[in-house]
Amino acid sequence: MSFKLFIASTFGLIKSTAKIEADYESLLADYQNFCEFEKSTGHKKYHELEVLVTSPTFKQEKKELQHLTLKGSKEEAQLTELKKLGRNRRLQKFYTTLKSDELKRFDKILNSELKAKYKELKSAVDKHSLAALKKKDKNSEEYALYTEFHKINDSEEITFFKKFRKSSAYVNYELMIDSPERKRFEELQKITGSADFKARVAYLEDKQKWEKTEDAAKEKRFAELQKSPQVVNFLKYKNSNAFDFFKKWKLVFEDRFETGKLDNQKWITKSHWASQSLGQNFSQIGDLHAYTDGKNISVDGKSLKIEVRKEKATGMQWRIPFGFVEQEFDYTSGIISTAGAEWWKHGILEAKVKYAPSQNLVDAIYLLGEETSPQINLVEMGAKNRLGLLSKSSDGIQADCESISGLKSGEFYIFRLEWSAHSMVWTINGREMLNLTQNIPAFKMHLNAASIVVAEPVSNLPHRFEIGWVRFYQHH
């Protein structure tokens, strides 16, 4: 018994098979989704948006637009200047006068015949003194001129005209009519009253102006994509080494035994030598069973079972020096092999196997080449519970193995072999059990699984060697 393995198993130091499987399936699904998304048009669009939205230019433009307000703008300065000019008392007084009836009356008089006559008479009168005119004969032309001037001069219209022209309102009017202040005020009125200016002010005051842009829509779409399951998965693993195994190793062979029957494209129910020589199964010296051609193999959609039964059967057995001899056996069993389809050199072999050793039986999953030696045992249970390398030599069988007797009977475990040019490493549920660096096979080998009856008595029959799944990986 492997004491270390017993301790690890007893105290729960070996990872749960169910947890390992769940983690693997979850990670594989994430990897497949990652690869699918990475090749999709969705990823292309996401990447384009990511480049845009995370660019310094985009961020700067967004910042500038979000900080763009009426305050501090040219438009605010123009409105402020207009407002200030609008409070200018001279301008206020000017526009009051401009709109007044007095100015209208004044302008009407200014351009009237009465004003022209007044001007004409005043010019004539100014050539004489009023005192001299008053002394003239009342029938004289000079006196008549005086009388007519005095009449117009004292008229209500001319009196108003002269008074208004001297008023502060009209003086201010004259001062401001061509002033820079008035010109700028009316220029600003025209500017700020335009549709373009009003639209610009409304835009500057709009607190949602960024949200209304095409870039904001792209940013929103990018944020939505970041929440989608595919992108969440992609971002989770984008800079991770979690997928290193899948990137390094390619699954070249797998059977989950889910179809309800043995896949004849992957397996034959004979050994390599049986299929090459007799065309039917045969037993080795010392074997107490006959191999049937698949009758002791069953697949129930969850696992594969090789069954050992107590029953009479006629089969062939190899005997030296006679060769193949027909004989009757008391037990039957089965074997499966990839010899007809799959041979590999180097890689990772994994199998989920129920650890249920039975006395005087041997359940094994193993690799063989064209010869029966060396034999790489992924797992061997029964008469001996071990894993490792078996090689024939002049002294017999050399076993470079490690005991696995500390495992819990009736439990499934994942047995794994990583086979390279320089080493072979065996693990059980991720716990390293054996590491060999000598006598490493360097040729193609095929996979086998079989149950063998090696001694009697055999109890608890029928006995079932149960395999949940098998995988083989090679470097990409």
Summarize pLDDT for 198-214 with one digit per residue, the tens: 999 999 999 999 999 99
Residue 412 lies in a domain: yes
130 shares its domain with 274: no
Residue 154 has pLDDT above 70, yes or no: yes
What pLDDT is recorded for position 123? Answer: 84
Q: Residue 121: is its pLDDT beyond 90? A: no
Same domain assignment for residues 174 and 298: no
Q: CA separation (Å) from 116 to 108, 148, 412?
A: 12, 14, 127
- Look at residue 271 and tell me if it is in a domain: yes
Q: Please indicate, yes or no, whether residues 150 and 281 belong to a single structural domain of this protein.
A: no
Lowest mean pLDDT among 110-119, 170-179, 408-417: 110-119
Is the same domain home to 412 and 281?
A: yes
Closest-CA residue to 292 (of 273, 276, 311, 277):
311
Average pLDDT over residues 307-317: 95
Q: Is the pLDDT of residue 149 over 90?
A: no
The CATH number that applies at residue 455 is: 2.60.120.200
**Domain assignment present for 234:** no
Choose the weakest-confidence range: 113-117, 319-323, 402-406.
319-323
Q: What percentage of residues in the chain have a pLDDT greater than 70?
A: 94
Confidence (pLDDT) at 277: 86
Domain assignment of residue 162, given as a range: 74-205
Per residue in 340-353, pLDDT (tens digit) is 999 999 999 999 99
Q: Residues 342, 438: one domain? A: yes
State the total domains in the chain: 2
- Domain final residue pick, 178, 205, 232: 205
pLDDT of res. 141: 72
State the CB neighbour count (10 A cutoff) for residue 350: 20
Strands 431-436 vs 424-428: parallel, antiparallel or unpaired: antiparallel
In angstroms, rounded to a whole number, what is the distance separating the alpha carbons of residues 205 and 76?
11
Model confidence at 128, pLDDT cuts 50, 70, 90, reads low
Q: Based on the domain organization, do 191 and 271 belong to the same domain?
A: no
Query: Does the residue 32 lie in any domain?
Result: no
Are residues 277 and 381 part of one domain?
yes
Pick from 363, 333, 345, 337: which is nearest to 275 by CA? 337
Distance CA(61)–CA(154), nearest Å, equals: 75
Cα-based torsion angle of the residue sequence 230, 233, 238, 239 in order, rounded to the nearest 10 degrees: 170
Query: What sign does the dihedral 465-367-27-42 (CA atoms) show?
Result: negative
pLDDT at 133 > cutoff 60: no
Domain check: are 174 and 261 in the same one?
A: no
The end-to-end CA distance of the chain, in Å, is 38
Asked if residue 348 belongs to a domain, the reply is yes
| Per-residue pLDDT reduced to its tens digit, 275-302 | 998 889 999 888 999 999 999 999 999 9
* Cβ 429 vs Cβ 414: under 8 Å: yes
In a domain, 45, yes or no: no
Cα 28–31–36 angle (5° rounding)? 125
Confidence at residue 293, expressed as pLDDT on a 0 to 100 scale:
93
Residue 391 has pLDDT above 60, yes or no: yes
Give 18: exposed, middle or buried? Use CB within 10 Å, 0-12, 13-18, 19+.
exposed
| Shared-domain flag, residues 360 and 420 | yes
Are 307 and 455 in the same domain?
yes
Q: Where among 205, 232, 264 does a domain terminate?
A: 205
Asked if 336 and 306 count as a contact pair (C-beta separation under 8 A), the reply is: yes
Structure tokens at 181: 């202040």
For the residues 168-176, what does the mean pLDDT come to? 96
| Cis peptide bond N-terminal to 321, omega within 30 | yes
Instruction: Answer yes or no: is 449 within a domain.
Output: yes
**Percent of the chain at pLDDT exceeding 90:** 83
pTM comes to 0.75
Residue 188 sits in the same domain as residue 285: no
For residue 419, tell me if it sits in a domain: yes
**Residue 136 confidence (pLDDT) above 60:** no
Strands 249-255 and 297-299, bridge-based pairing: unpaired
Q: What is the mean pLDDT of the chain?
A: 92
Q: Are residues 158 and 264 in the same domain?
A: no
Domain boundary among 166, 189, 205: 205
Instruction: Decide if pLDDT at 423 tops 60.
Output: yes
